[in-house]
Structure 1
Amino acid sequence: MADTGEAFFSLLDLTEYEADALEELLLLGRTTAPDLAEATGIPKARIYGVLDSLAEAGYIQVIPGRPKRYQPHEPAEITDRAVENQRHAYERFREDVEAIEDSFVDAYAPVRDRDIDELRPTEDLFHVVDVGEPSERETRRLFRNAETAVYTLTKSFGYIDSVEVAMRDAVDRDVDVDVLMLAPDHLSESNREQQAAIRERLLEEFPGVSVRMIDRVLPWRGTLADPSMSYDSGEGLLLVEQEEIPNHHRQAAVTENPSFVAGFWQYFDLLWTHESRPAE
């Protein structure tokens, strides 16, 4: 049964925590978030975010009450929902591409007529990775490769566990790390609790990391490393904010194009300087 479950969960593109939580719920039937955290070893600061993702994906249901309880749907419903999620993800991707198809063609078709030496700087503007472990792996790489600075725009930095070692390595190498988080008023109750725990953790374990809060809900988030206004360095990972789509059905753009990174960093810097406030 374990091998079958592992094979199925891998098809769902779940994080390790999400897969562990869903499997345990299927075995337990119904339980509370703290009890599930204890049973699985998932940190309490992350369990609500994990359960929110599973509920958004349609794999579990939330039973109102004090405390709330969580219950998995029937296995057959989960498999049906998994197929439906993939279909919706594809349809959304197709619609997004069609929405910008004309402008994309108009912008890049003339490039074919340029000299090859002019073309090289615009090649490979970005490549796409799935959100979850693939995007977290790219984020770790950005921290490890950074030489001067890393800038992160995030809601609550809920993926800190997956990048902690790489971030600590960057800080130890005197790389500046700035984290811009969404103000708690714009988060769900569980995400507010998660963010508060992570902010406290950053304060205690990473006092050199600068954290600020912003009230504006932004259409993108991600991480930028070593941007340069001379356009000779910089890497980044960016994803569009799509609340209606669970994280594990989203994709992120990875770029090594210095001009692209510099442009996004200028946006980040304006937000950091003029629209954010220190974390409490």
Structure 2
Amino acid sequence: MIINESFLVKLRSSFSLNLYEVKLWAAILSRGISTAGELSDISDVPRSRTYDVLESLERKGFVIVKPEKPIKYMAIPPNEVLDRVHSKIRMNLIKHSEKVIKLKDSELMSELANLYNQGIEPLQITDFSGALKGRHNLYDQISYVLKNAEERVDLVTSEEGLLRKLNTLKPLIERTVARGIKIRILAPENPESQKIIASFGENVKFKNSGDFKGRFCLVDNKQIIFMLTDDEEVHPSYDMGFWINSNYFSGTMSKMFEKVWNSDLSSESE
């Protein structure tokens, strides 16, 4: 059986299978019902590995074993396989989430916190900085500083960047605002983003950034996350930025933000 290599690669990435698993799955789909020996021959999977790989596919819900002599394996319709995979992922996610939640008030977390607090005391101010690669890591760090904000958050971003942040961080922004934190946003206007911002209430202010361009998040004039690239020109995986915990640098950026915020470049909207 000849199968396009790119097709096998897609199967592996989409269904989290190894090479032998996708080869045997594709083989059994092409035959409907077959023995392990036949599947080994047409899939080019070593016979010594065929039985344990087919057993793995059975556990994952990709095939059905027919208890005959010789034992035969029956294909399951791809749509049904997809439903089963989705269901298992959802169940595993729920179990893992519950496990992580239970850790929150555990003795293990107390020990980790003590270890962190002991290690952080001798650090210098220059140690409180780091490079961030990948948009997901940038957003994770933005989430972290938002959770620890005490008074104010100032955000400068692009039109699409604002929509992404509002959609991704909306629940966290709502909790941050509920704590009384003031948020100011400088970005190009967009009807969709305006609706979301309006739903946050009076603690979130927006101004059109006009010709001013930048991408940074400033928290309490102490911490700043600033991006080094134009989000319109870089793939999310290669988006880069820096996080710095520095009153001096953050204070300088805060003065620049205030100057732009109070200028006539933009018209305020709540």
Q: Give me the TM-score of the superposition, normalised by structure 2.
A: 0.51
- Find the counterpart in structure 1 of residue 14 from structure 2: 5
Tell me the secondary structure at the aligned position of residue 216 of structure 1.
coil
CA offset digits 1:176-212 (Å, max 9, x no partner): 1111112x4xxxxxxxxxx321111211344431011
Structure 2 CA distance, aligned partners of 1:246 and 1:171? 31
Q: How many residues align?
A: 151
Q: Does structure 1 conserve the Cα–Cα contact (< 8 Å) formed by 2:174 and 2:200? A: no
**1:176 partnered with 2:182:** yes
Q: What is the aligned counterpart of 1:221 among 206, 215, 219?
A: 215
Instruction: Select the structure of larger CA radius of gyration.
Output: 2
- Find the counterpart in structure 1 of residue 149 from structure 2: 146
Runs of 4+ aligned structure 1 residues displaced above 2 Å come to 204-208, 240-248
Structure 1 CA distance, aligned partners of 2:145 and 2:240? 17
- Find the counterpart in structure 1 of residue 203 from structure 2: 208
Q: How does 1:1-280 map to 2 (within 5 A)?
A: 3-5=12-14, 120-121=124-125, 123-124=126-127, 126-156=129-159, 157-158=162-163, 159-182=165-188, 184=189, 195-218=190-213, 220-227=214-221, 234-242=222-230, 243-274=232-263, 275-279=265-269
Q: Does structure 2 conserve the Cα–Cα contact (< 8 Å) formed by 1:152 and 1:179? A: yes
CA-based RMSD? 2.5
165-174 vs 240-249, greater mean Cα deviation: 240-249
Structure 2 CA distance, aligned partners of 1:120 and 1:137? 23
Larger relative contact order (CA 8 Å, sep ≥ 6)? 1
Structure 2 CA distance, aligned partners of 1:254 and 1:126? 5
Ranges in structure 1 where 5+ consecutive residues have no aligned partner? 8-118, 185-194, 228-233
Structure 1 CA distance, aligned partners of 2:250 and 2:185? 16
Amino acid at match of 2:205: S
Q: Does structure 1 conserve the Cα–Cα contact (< 8 Å) formed by 2:227 and 2:241? A: yes
The alpha-carbon deviation at position 6 of structure 1 amounts to 6.9
Structure 1 CA distance, aligned partners of 2:151 and 2:201? 17
Q: 1:254 to 1:261 in 2, by over 3 A?
A: same
Tell me the secondary structure at the aligned position of residue 276 of structure 1.
coil
CA offset digits 1:128-185 (Å, max 9, x no partner): 1123211111111111100000000011212212211221111111111111112x4x
Structure 2 CA distance, aligned partners of 1:259 and 1:265? 10
The alpha-carbon deviation at position 257 of structure 1 amounts to 1.4
Structure 2 CA distance, aligned partners of 1:210 and 1:179? 6
Ranges in structure 2 where 5+ consecutive residues have no aligned partner? 1-9, 17-122
CA offset digits 1:69-88 (Å, max 9, x no partner): xxxxxxxxxxxxxxxxxxxx
Structure 2 CA distance, aligned partners of 1:163 and 1:256? 21
Structure 1 CA distance, aligned partners of 2:15 and 2:127? 35
Q: 1:2 to 1:256 in 2, by over 3 A?
A: farther
Q: 1:127 to 1:267 in 2, by over 3 A?
A: same
CA offset digits 1:242-277 (Å, max 9, x no partner): 343233312111111121111111111111011332
Q: Give me the TM-score of the superposition, normalised by structure 1.
A: 0.49
Structure 2 CA distance, aligned partners of 1:169 and 1:2? 40
Q: 1:244 to 1:6 in 2, by over 3 A?
A: farther
